[in-house]
Structure 1
Amino acid sequence: MIRKPSVAGLFYESNKSLLEENIKNIFNKTGQNIPTTPSNTYKTKAAIVPHAGYIYSGKTASYAYGDIARSGICDTVVIIGPNHTGYGDDISLTTSNTWQTPIGDVCVDSEFNNELEKINSNITFSPEAHIKEHSIEVELPFLQYISNIQKKSFKIVPIVITRQQKNFCVELAHSIYDVSKKLNRNIMVVASTDLTHYENATSAKNKDEKILKSIEDMDIDSLLNNINKYNITMCGYGPTITAIIYSKLVNANRSIILNYSNSGEVYNDYESVVGYASAVIKK
């Protein structure tokens, strides 16, 4: 079964050539050199990236994807996004074996999927969560673009989180780690999230700086405390927590904030913005 693109033509170009040209231009504008041959150190074990339309957050996302391109795309990329639609279960796996974008098809690591579902009772196969959800889909063209340049195939494990409580995320991170070890998979985790929503740029930046400090410190308790204390509307804190915990499990303890921006920068309208950040966690 193929999962068709849901937001092509809305969040990014629906035409393959235009989409590839758009991504190329984004990388060029941010100075991200995409090598034809990566270092293959695979030192980047997790990334935190935004998921808005490319006109808004593509620039910020490109910093993380540039780092991934230099480090090397792992055999399996676990992409975790928050649930914006309300459909699906607590932690939802896809039932599709292929995800499609205008650039082409990406295979799902079905073996990894099946093992996750077996070992964690919170994880279920729930296609409803994925059909219209954009937070994972928008990450794929960047990965495909890099993959095509480097002639390196990869598979994905798309996971949508509805219940983003700490205990769910801790268990999910451990499950991902355990399955990767059992299957001897070289993986990385991509956490998809935007930051503060619909506040003026100054307020958003003040709040988001607190979140970024928590990410840099890899401190999930301070991240959750900041969200609650300052009413920060970060949509993908669960995926972010999961990425941090997984990174610690594989002894990747160097969290680097690469870029921060907001949606107001596109049209110079800073009254009501969404904050975006990209970060990587490396060994």
Structure 2
Amino acid sequence: MAGAFYSGDPAQLAQDVDQFLSHHERPPLSGLRALVVPHAGYIYSGDVAAAAYSCLTRGAEYKYVLLIGPSHRVGFIGMAVPEADVFDTPLGRMELASEQIGELVADGLVVYNRMAHYAEHCLEVQLPFLQRAEVHAPLLPIVVGHASPEEVGAVVLPALEDPEVLTIISTDMSHFHSYDEARKIDGQTHKRILAGAENIQPEEACGCMGLNGLQHALARSKYRIHLLQHCNSGDTSGDKSRVVGYAAYAVY
């Protein structure tokens, strides 16, 4: 997605991400288990994403980073992992957690589906933030087609319970309402998420399958979800006629 959702120039991309992160200087969040982040172009949602990534300890090492996001282009049932060994961004390569991916496939929880990952931006836009935060970990990327909270939760819960794993759920909020209507809709969705709802709908959050799976797992864990920041594209672009909502959450 280089050149579309973020700059294809390595120096410019690094500068952009660092600038977003600098807006949110804070101590690393103790006990952090998961983040919920948007996946729009950086000019629209980069600052909200940075509110989440600023919670990380710079240079942190994990067994793997579990990335879960929605399929925008390919319709399918279940959850898909890529047939690849690395992901590339202008900032360099990131290895995939091949062993853990193979285990999930063997257990029947996910399937290999190259097309589900082809040209899918929801996970790729997270990578430069992980790279500039100097997170050291292979990636376990999952694109969700149609899956129940229980199915997604079966993958998320073991990750939440392992302190050596970080989980990232990729989602935007409501789409293409007027500014005031979007604020109203997203405000209600935030209340539902914070109350533990597992039935968030696609019109409320495009990554609802992953989000509902996270909520299902949280209901069976000691961790809770906390809202860090939210806005919509009208706040960043100035066009308030037809906006997309964004939010950052942390689980700890």
TM-score where L is the length of structure 2: 0.91
Instruction: Name 2:249's counterpart in structure 1.
Output: 279
1:269 lines up with 2:247 in the alignment: no
Structure 1 Cα separation of the partners of residues 129 and 59 of structure 2: 15
Letter in 2 for 1:171: E
1:251 lines up with 2:191 in the alignment: no
Instruction: Name 1:31's counterpart in structure 2.
Output: 24
Instruction: Name 2:36's counterpart in structure 1.
Output: 48
Q: CA RMSD in A?
A: 2.3
1:153 lines up with 2:136 in the alignment: yes
* Residues 237-261 of structure 1, C-alpha deviations (whole Å, 9 max, x = no match): 01111222333444212x2101111
Instruction: Please show how residues 1-283 of structure 1 align to structure 2 within 5 Å.
Output: 7-28=1-22, 30-33=23-26, 41=30, 43-69=31-57, 72=60, 74-86=62-74, 90-121=78-109, 123-147=110-134, 152-164=135-147, 168-178=148-158, 186-221=164-199, 224=200, 227=201, 232-253=203-224, 255-282=225-252
**Cα deviation, residue 171, structure 1:** 2.1
Structure 2 Cα separation of the partners of residues 31 and 115 of structure 1: 37
Instruction: Name 1:4's counterpart in structure 2.
Output: none
Structure 2 Cα separation of the partners of residues 197 and 99 of structure 1: 28
Structure 1 Cα separation of the partners of residues 143 and 230 of structure 2: 24
Overall identity of the aligned pairs, in %: 27
Q: 1:180 to 1:280 in 2, by over 3 A?
A: closer
Aligned residues between the structures: 252
Letter in 2 for 1:200: S
| Structure 2 portions without partners, runs of 5+ | none
Q: 1:75 to 1:250 in 2, by over 3 A?
A: farther
Q: 1:103 to 1:204 in 2, by over 3 A?
A: same
Structure 1 Cα separation of the partners of residues 159 and 223 of structure 2: 18
Contact map agreement 1:204 1:274 (CA 8 A) in 2? yes
Contact map agreement 1:88 1:127 (CA 8 A) in 2? no
Contact map agreement 2:159 2:167 (CA 8 A) in 1? no
TM-score where L is the length of structure 1: 0.82
Q: 1:180 to 1:65 in 2, by over 3 A?
A: closer
Instruction: Name 1:3's counterpart in structure 2.
Output: none
* Residues 68-103 of structure 1, C-alpha deviations (whole Å, 9 max, x = no match): 237945331111010001156521011111011111
Letter in 2 for 1:62: A
User: Larger % of helix: which?
Assistant: 1
